[in-house]
Chain A
Amino acid sequence: MMNEKTEIAIAAIILVAAIILIPIGIAGFMHNAQPYRIIEGEPVKDAAIAAGLSVCSVSDTLSDLPGAAGGKTYVISDNCADPTETIRVETQAFDSEESRDAAIKIYNSKTIGKLKGSGNLIVAGQYLVYINGNSELFGRISNELKKI
């Protein structure tokens, strides 16, 4: 037979467990895992064009992170000649699911103080796609990337 003290203890443990599982459940449900798969070509460039944007310049980049297989930095605008907004999008491919997911953890750990850094990250196949700051243009690219 459980006494009242034990019941309270169990209730407290359940309560504490619930406050952890519910927020994590919300996060998990709202953002499904992206399976590792190889996407051919330049998905960000294709997505930008599909979103009606222009790629103003592109350069190769190679991150120093373990498993990084190279990527590109795109300068993308609604109009390269007379832009109302220009964004810089970085991509980096990874050679395995483990290295890609490790890179996500490294990105998450680059907090400022206790909080998230300034950038945003999305996952597309073998690529991590980064942008510094928030931008409506990146939202449009992201929507197209989901279709690839």
Chain B
Amino acid sequence: MSEETAVITGGKKKYLGIFALAMINVAAVLSIRNFPSMAVYGWSCIGWYIIGTILFLIPISLAGAELATGWPEGGGVYAWVKQAFGEKKGFIALFCEWSNNLVWFPTVLSFIAATLAFALTPELANSPYYMFTVMMIAFWGTTIVAYFGENASAKLSTFGVILGSIIPAVLITFLGIWWFGTGQALVLPDFTPGAIVPDINLGTLPFFSTVILLFAGMEMAGFHALEVRNPQTDFPKAIGLSAVIIFLCTVAATLAIAFVIPADKLSLASGVMQAIQYFFDSAGLPGLVGPMAVLITIGGVVSLAAWLIGPAKGLGVVAEEGNMPPMFDRTNKYGAPVAVLLTQALIGSAISLLYVFLPSVNQAYWILSAMTVELLCIVYFLVFAALIKLRYSQPDTPRPFKIPGGMAGVWLVGGIGLVGIAFSFTVGLMPPSYYSNVLGYVASVLFGTFILAAPPLVFLKMKKPEWKNGGHSEVKE
């Protein structure tokens, strides 16, 4: 997959602008789905968000900006980690990012299907046949968009994220302000500075770990480096813009929900749309619930698209470099890695099928979620470590964006990120309290994580010289 084939459509080279690049990150990270779960914590959700911002959002944004401008190559995290630690670790980082998606896809797909059902007939969500059909339409539909290359994907991200994430978040925020401004009773107690301090104890440790990775996905724009005209200047701006949009929309909309909906209505036994319905009913706008369900469905689809396309493009680059069998190196005339997209779609469909129709998988999903945490931690651990290592191993490589403060600044940013990620990895191994076989749980999560992270080692062992270019093929359609 050459750069030219990747970005040329109809003879005209199309580049991603700063806004489009920023929207890729926003699509990956900003989700209405988070808001009711975070609003349960009332004022202290601010404290939790601050923890996530300090321990992850700021470090990953700064690290992403420095790495993307220093090594604006295709492959995103693969390129960055490869520069620091070599091909093997770069491949592992990328594969962990890709394989954790495969476990996550059924979650977001079932959210999309259930939210759409809410706009039609909520009872539809009880039908596994309805759920699976809609999940597959969303999944394969998004894959088809990815097939048509960067231009189509960028349009989906840009318009979709505005429609499905930013507009709903802004609307919820304005209604919260209106609620507050018209003197309606807030369901939260009076604000005190102490109220924003989260309650951190053994029971909330797993949540602490989740909050650290709340903003995972900020590196997503890095996968699109080859489609950016001036990556050295555009990446920092796009990452900064996306970080600000994500933080403001998330905090404001969560607080708006917390103002209006009593905590017991945000119960664990309710869905996201039930909370949204209560919110709009309370605001006297029940007619907006259906359109909001449609918008939030769109938000789910663009979130899916961002995660589906980015790591797949990265794997395409890995295959192009001859680290995977040539079958994975097939690209189409739009520059899309069709073989990786097809493999991903088939595996994702199979997992979704098991998820919908096998109750044991559905009920045991928490253990797969735990593997997802561990895989993400491996990705980010390697990214932060690469940030620090590259300052030593390639000090003279031009970095148009450099984390300020010299080595101390890099150690501070990378160090905070590493500590946060190490903490999340450790806590991710804690079994739920009702699980009696602790060692069995830990061993299973670690083994599952290893299996999902290990294929690069097998591919590199099998690697043959002719895989590079020798098996290269571009499907002319």
A113 touching B444 in the complex, CB below 8 Å, given contacts A101-B362, A107-B268, A134-B202 = no
Which one, B328, B347, B358, contacts A17 given CB within 8 A?
B347
A113 touching B268 in the complex, CB below 8 Å, given contacts A16-B455, A31-B364, A33-B359 = no
Asked if A110 is an interface residue, CB under 8 A from chain B, the answer is: yes
Asked if B187 is an interface residue, CB under 8 A from chain A, the answer is: no
Bound Cα distance A109, B359 (Å): 15
Report A1-33 CB contacts with B as 1/0, cut-off 8 Å: 000010011011101111110111011101111
CB distance from B216 to the nearest CB of A (A): 5
A113 touching B351 in the complex, CB below 8 Å, given contacts A30-B444, A106-B114, A135-B203 = no
The answer on a CB contact under 8 Å between B373 and A142 is no
Q: Which of B347, B432, B435 has the most CB of A within 10 A?
A: B432
A114 touching B376 in the complex, CB below 8 Å, given contacts A16-B343, A134-B430 = yes
Which one, A65, A90, A116, contacts B366 given CB within 8 A?
A116
The answer on a CB contact under 8 Å between B126 and A102 is yes
Chain B residues near A17: list those with CB within 8 A: 347, 350
The answer on a CB contact under 8 Å between B211 and A63 is no
Chain A residues near B343: list those with CB within 8 A: 13, 16
Residue of B nearest to A13 (CB): B343
Report A49-81 CB contacts with B as 1/0, cut-off 8 Å: 000000000000101111110010100000000
Bound Cα distance A31, B72 (Å): 44
A116 touching B210 in the complex, CB below 8 Å, given contacts A28-B364, A107-B268, A143-B436 = yes
Residue of A nearest to B208 (CB): A118
Count of CB-CB pairs between chains A and B under 8 Å: 255
Which one, A20, A34, A64, A118, contacts B274 given CB within 8 A?
A64
Residues 411-445 of B at the A interface (beta carbon under 8 Å): 430, 432-436, 440-441, 444
Chain B residues near A108: list those with CB within 8 A: 107, 110, 362, 365, 369
A27 touching B365 in the complex, CB below 8 Å, given contacts A20-B351, A105-B114, A113-B213 = yes
Interface residue tally on A, bucketed by range: 35 or more
CB distance from A122 to the nearest CB of B (A): 6
Residue of B nearest to A122 (CB): B434
Chain A residues near B127: list those with CB within 8 A: 98
Which one, B104, B363, B458, contacts A123 given CB within 8 A?
B363
Chain B residues near A106: list those with CB within 8 A: 110, 114, 125, 271
Report A110-145 CB contacts with B as 1/0, cut-off 8 Å: 111111111111110000101111111111011100
CB distance from A84 to the nearest CB of B (A): 12
Report B371-390 CB contacts with A as 1/0, cut-off 8 Å: 11100100000000000000
Bound Cα distance A107, B107 (Å): 10
CB distance from A18 to the nearest CB of B (A): 8
Asked if A38 is an interface residue, CB under 8 A from chain B, the answer is: no
Asked if B325 is an interface residue, CB under 8 A from chain A, the answer is: yes
CB distance from B200 to the nearest CB of A (A): 11
Chain A residues near B207: list those with CB within 8 A: 118, 133
Bound Cα distance A9, B363 (Å): 34
Bound Cα distance A113, B56 (Å): 12
The answer on a CB contact under 8 Å between B37 and A117 is yes
Bound Cα distance A8, B371 (Å): 28
Chain A residues near B213: list those with CB within 8 A: 113-115
Which one, A61, A114, A119, contacts B372 given CB within 8 A?
A114
Bound Cα distance A51, B155 (Å): 57
Residues 12-62 of B at the A interface (beta carbon under 8 Å): 29, 31, 33-34, 36-38, 40
Asked if B327 is an interface residue, CB under 8 A from chain A, the answer is: yes
CB distance from B401 to the nearest CB of A (A): 25
Asked if B316 is an interface residue, CB under 8 A from chain A, the answer is: no
Bound Cα distance A109, B277 (Å): 17
A112 touching B211 in the complex, CB below 8 Å, given contacts A8-B327, A16-B343 = yes
Residue of A nearest to B199 (CB): A133
A66 touching B267 in the complex, CB below 8 Å, given contacts A19-B451, A23-B451 = no
Q: Which of A31, A33, A68, A142 has the most CB of B within 10 A?
A: A31
The answer on a CB contact under 8 Å between A109 and B455 is no
A19 touching B99 in the complex, CB below 8 Å, given contacts A31-B360, A66-B125, A139-B433 = yes
Residue of A nearest to B104 (CB): A114
The answer on a CB contact under 8 Å between A132 and B211 is no
Chain B residues near A133: list those with CB within 8 A: 203-204, 206-207
Task: A64-B278, A104-B363 are known; give 13 further A-B pairs, CB within 8 A.
Answer: A24-B351, A27-B364, A30-B364, A63-B267, A63-B274, A90-B268, A96-B126, A102-B131, A105-B356, A119-B268, A120-B433, A121-B366, A142-B433
Could you tell me which B residues sit within 8 Å of A by CB distance? 29, 31, 33-34, 36-38, 40, 99-100, 102-104, 107-108, 110-111, 114, 122-123, 125-128, 131, 202-207, 210-211, 213-217, 264, 267-272, 274, 277-278, 307, 324-328, 343, 347, 350-351, 354-356, 358-373, 376, 430, 432-436, 440-441, 444, 447-448, 451-452, 454-455, 458-459, 462, 471
Q: List 15 A-B contacts (CB under 8 A).
A: A9-B327, A12-B328, A61-B269, A64-B271, A64-B277, A65-B271, A68-B269, A71-B269, A109-B272, A110-B268, A116-B366, A118-B207, A119-B268, A134-B206, A138-B433
